[in-house]
């Protein structure tokens, strides 16, 4: 191609881009204004905090501007992104697995904690110690390859239903939080799930349900062992905790898996305290939010902050409430801040 031809093409391209940009900018403006990125959120300080944070971080002229490749937001899962009552979905999975595996373990009929699960003895189950749960987790989460485990969880998710809502657990995600995740991603953020729950468990549905790929799920993990089955390498799941991604473990896990400090973090319990502290300790604009379950009608109400009932699940203590106030963390009232909780409402 002769140089003059190349130059002519470049000039033509420049002209076309200029027109395209003009047309796009004039036609896109009214649409943008009309579109609320957080339609399930009522107007108020919580919604405003999100919008204002994103503006501060993304506007190039802002002193708190963060380049897109550094934008990072972390989300707890249970109670923050989906329902955690009356029991974590993963605990429900473990109990269902005990029932499914019982025929291969006749000894469980007379051995605790399995006996209580098989008899559905709710009184005994409510008193399960950490040691009891460790036995249940060992019997249901270990002893298979990583690939086999993913399949078992996927199959369970396909048929299990929440006892109250009678819907798959993956439909019990909070629509307002999905909107926040999407809104942040549309503004250049990488969104990570940082869960006290099982890393591999969440990876099964993280992409489909939250738009979060496996490599962006940080969670509690078991040790695995490299073995050969029929000459092919596999990773066997061992009945041994490798990493506990809860409380201080969440800050440690963020540094270990991501190596960056988030600008925004979302939680709902004392297990998220250190993640929010660690996020808040960075420079510039920061957004720390806690979901308060104060809507017993549409979801659940538990606390014990603000006099809500005390449960074993999701401990939003008064101390956490006080710390939130002191450090400028925004508490999200499900009752007041969300006009919709589930997509299917």
Binding site for a copy of itself (CB under 8 A): 1, 6, 9-10, 12-13, 16-17, 19-20, 23-24, 26-27, 30, 69, 146, 190, 199-200, 203, 213-215, 217, 221, 224-226, 232-233, 235, 242, 248, 251-252, 255-260, 274, 277-278, 281
Q: How many whole angstroms separate alpha carbon 122 and alpha carbon 87?
A: 12
Judged by CB, which is closer to a copy of itself: 185, or 260?
260
Judged by CB, which is closer to a copy of itself: 140, or 279?
279
**Structure-token pair, residue 129:** 């110690």
Question: Closest separation between CB of residue 173 and a copy of itself, Å?
Answer: 20
Question: Closest separation between CB of residue 260 and a copy of itself, Å?
Answer: 6
Q: How many whole angstroms separate alpha carbon 108 and alpha carbon 138?
A: 14
Judged by CB, which is closer to a copy of itself: 246, or 337?
246
Angle between helices 89-101 and 146-159 (to 10 degrees): 100
Question: Closest separation between CB of residue 216 and a copy of itself, Å?
Answer: 8
Q: Which residues pair with 193 in a beta bridge?
A: 75, 217
Q: How many whole angstroms separate alpha carbon 326 and alpha carbon 14?
A: 54
Q: How many whole angstroms separate alpha carbon 243 and alpha carbon 139?
A: 18
Question: Closest separation between CB of residue 19 and a copy of itself, Å?
Answer: 6
**Structure-token pair, residue 111:** 């051995």
Judged by CB, which is closer to a copy of itself: 177, or 218?
218
**Structure-token pair, residue 291:** 């979901």
Is the backbone peptide bond immediately before 183 cis, with ω within 30 degrees of 0? no
Q: CB-side exposure of 305: number of CA atoms within 13 Å?
A: 23
Judged by CB, which is closer to a copy of itself: 136, or 218?
218
Question: Closest separation between CB of residue 222 and a copy of itself, Å?
Answer: 10
Query: Is residue 290 within 8 Å of 268, Cβ to Cβ?
Result: yes
Question: Closest separation between CB of residue 151 and a copy of itself, Å?
Answer: 14
Judged by CB, which is closer to a copy of itself: 108, or 257?
257
């Amino acid at each position: 191609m002769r140089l003059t031809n190349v130059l002519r093409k470049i000039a033509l391209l420049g002209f076309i881009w200029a027109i395209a940009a003009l047309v796009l900018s004039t036609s896109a403006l009214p649409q943008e204004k009309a579109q609320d990125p957080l339609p399930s959120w009522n107007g108020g300080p919580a919604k405003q905090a999100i919008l204002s944070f994103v503006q501060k971080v993304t506007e190039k002229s802002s002193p708190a501007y963060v380049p897109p490749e550094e934008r990072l937001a972390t989300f707890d899962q249970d109670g923050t992104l989906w329902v955690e009552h009356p029991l974590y979905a993963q605990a429900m999975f473990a109990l269902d697995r005990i029932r499914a595996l019982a025929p291969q373990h006749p000894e469980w009929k007379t051995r605790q904690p399995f006996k209580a699960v098989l008899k559905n003895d709710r009184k005994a189950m409510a008193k399960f110690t950490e040691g009891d749960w460790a036995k249940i987790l060992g019997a249901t989460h270990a002893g298979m390859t990583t690939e086999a485990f993913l399949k078992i969880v996927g199959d369970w998710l396909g048929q299990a239903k929440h006892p109250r809502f009678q819907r798959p657990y993956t439909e019990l995600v909070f629509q307002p939080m999905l909107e926040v995740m999407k809104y942040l991603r549309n503004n250049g953020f990488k969104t990570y799930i940082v869960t006290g729950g099982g890393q591999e468990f969440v990876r099964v549905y993280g992409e489909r349900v939250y738009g979060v790929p496996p490599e962006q799920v940080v969670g509690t993990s078991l040790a695995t062992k490299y073995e050969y089955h029929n000459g092919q390498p596999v990773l066997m799941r061992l009945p041994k905790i490798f990493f506990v991604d809860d409380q201080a473990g969440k800050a440690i896990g963020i540094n270990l898996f991501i190596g960056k400090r988030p600008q925004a973090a979302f939680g709902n319990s004392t297990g998220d305290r250190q993640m929010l502290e660690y996020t808040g300790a960075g420079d510039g604009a920061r957004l720390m939010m806690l979901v308060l379950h104060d809507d017993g009608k549409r979801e659940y109400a538990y606390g014990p902050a603000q006099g809500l009932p005390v449960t074993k699940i999701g401990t939003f203590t008064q101390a956490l409430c006080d710390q939130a106030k002191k450090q400028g963390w925004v508490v999200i009232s499900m009752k007041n801040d969300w006009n919709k909780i589930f997509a299917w409402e």
